[in-house]
Structure 1
């Protein structure tokens, strides 16, 4: 299981002013807390900094690496910022968030993945937009895996995001994701599945419960990576419990360590 800590994102109210003021202590603390809570990667997103995203990305990457050795996930739609972030990465294998099957986006991002030997989150989306069914997602999955591996990206470095859409917009939306994840796991056992969870509950009350339940369902279907808030003890508790129940935690050691560390209060 791979957890990408999502909190260093300038779309968050507490983060944007800290980044604007170059509050290094705030950013270092947030990075460190996420890693200590179980994040394997730290996501870095400053996409709202329209006028100085490149400089901000470099500053964030360098600031985070002052206190953590975990690798970073460079999260931006802007190629200049993505390359600046990747070039500054020193800790292990970086991750790119994200590539799609859209022709222009794919052509721009692929050279950076290859140049920096990065892992990549690949969104199941093409030039027709967000797929409406599991079948459309699966068609895009086949194309992305085929094209990326043919270009030299190892299967183990590919993290397919089936694109979670709100169940408030259609009863089928949850099952579309689950069916796609099952297909990925059965067809490409070395390829990973990754997603954020919060979209599933958009527009509904008690969103955390829906997010937690969907995480358990997707993990049982074969999802093995999440972009989430690792400081959410309840969510992380369900991650460890689910791994133990699915036989993915030898002798339940991670679950027991989580218990001893106060995850379950």
Structure 2
């Protein structure tokens, strides 16, 4: 957090829409520390937080001091977690990360991810959560443990984005390269591949200039940059110079 102080404006300029906050290491004190963390971060950066916790008490405490519309990270199809977090988001404007995980464990195939996403999206919409507030996380798993995990994730992104109009997709990108050398190289390439398949949100370090440059270029090439204005603006701001 000491490193974060003074970086708020930089984060915004680099394209951060939310700042992910997590106090899970403070076992037994997460609720207090997460609330403090949200207040402290929002003193430094004029942006909403992505409140990263499975604990509904910690999330509720954090929301009590949060300015603006927060994102909750995350609800899943695990019954205990789903039942605890649903009342916090139902009928609100909160954004919600819907993690493709169930009581059966982590999905490995595209089909398993899409099946969980289907149940999560439909149940959340039925509970008065607007579909455009839902960010499905199909769960990135490292290719170092199974060489097809990257391809299965990408296929799931494609099917979710085409099968559920209006929904968003998001992921913790760096998981893909866990256990391998030159992780940034893998992460940057995987980001471009995922954007090409429809991914529209990423949990990343916005100070990684090459990553951000690749994202801007990928979105332009994927048809998400009218008249290439974002690309041209980034060029004028020298965001492609490292």
Q: Of 159, 171, 190, which residue of structure 2 is paired with 1:195?
A: 171
| SS at 2:12 equivalent | helix
Contact 1:28 1:63 in 2 (8 A): no
Give 1:158 deviation, angstroms.
0.4
Match of 1:239 in 2: 215
2:123 counterpart of 1:153 = no
Match of 1:53 in 2: 30
2:180 counterpart of 1:182 = no
With the length of structure 1 as denominator, give the TM-score of the two structures.
0.87
Give 1:66 deviation, angstroms.
2.2
Structure 1 residue ranges, 4+ long, deviating more than 3 angstroms after superposition: none
The farther-off stretch of 252-261 and 227-236 is 252-261
- The alignment covers a number of residue pairs equal to 241
2:239 counterpart of 1:263 = yes
RMSD: 1.4
Q: Partners in 2 of 1:30 and 1:100 — Cα distance?
A: 32
Q: Could you list the runs of 5+ residues in structure 2 that have no partner in the other structure?
A: none
With the length of structure 2 as denominator, give the TM-score of the two structures.
0.95
Cα displacement string for residues 153-208 of structure 1 (whole angstroms, at most 9, x for unaligned residues)? 00000000010011111121011101111111111120001001111111111111
Contact 2:54 2:75 in 1 (8 A): no
Q: Partners in 2 of 1:54 and 1:116 — Cα distance?
A: 21
Match of 2:93 in 1: 117
2:151 counterpart of 1:172 = no
Give 1:87 deviation, angstroms.
1.6
Give 1:27 deviation, angstroms.
4.0
Higher relative contact order (CA 8 A, sep 6+): 1
Q: Of 245, 251, 264, which residue of structure 1 is paired with 2:227?
A: 251
Cα displacement string for residues 207-239 of structure 1 (whole angstroms, at most 9, x for unaligned residues)? 111111111111000000000000000000001
Contact 2:8 2:46 in 1 (8 A): no
Q: Could you list the runs of 5+ residues in structure 1 that have no partner in the other structure?
A: 1-14, 19-25
Q: Partners in 1 of 2:14 and 2:39 — Cα distance?
A: 21
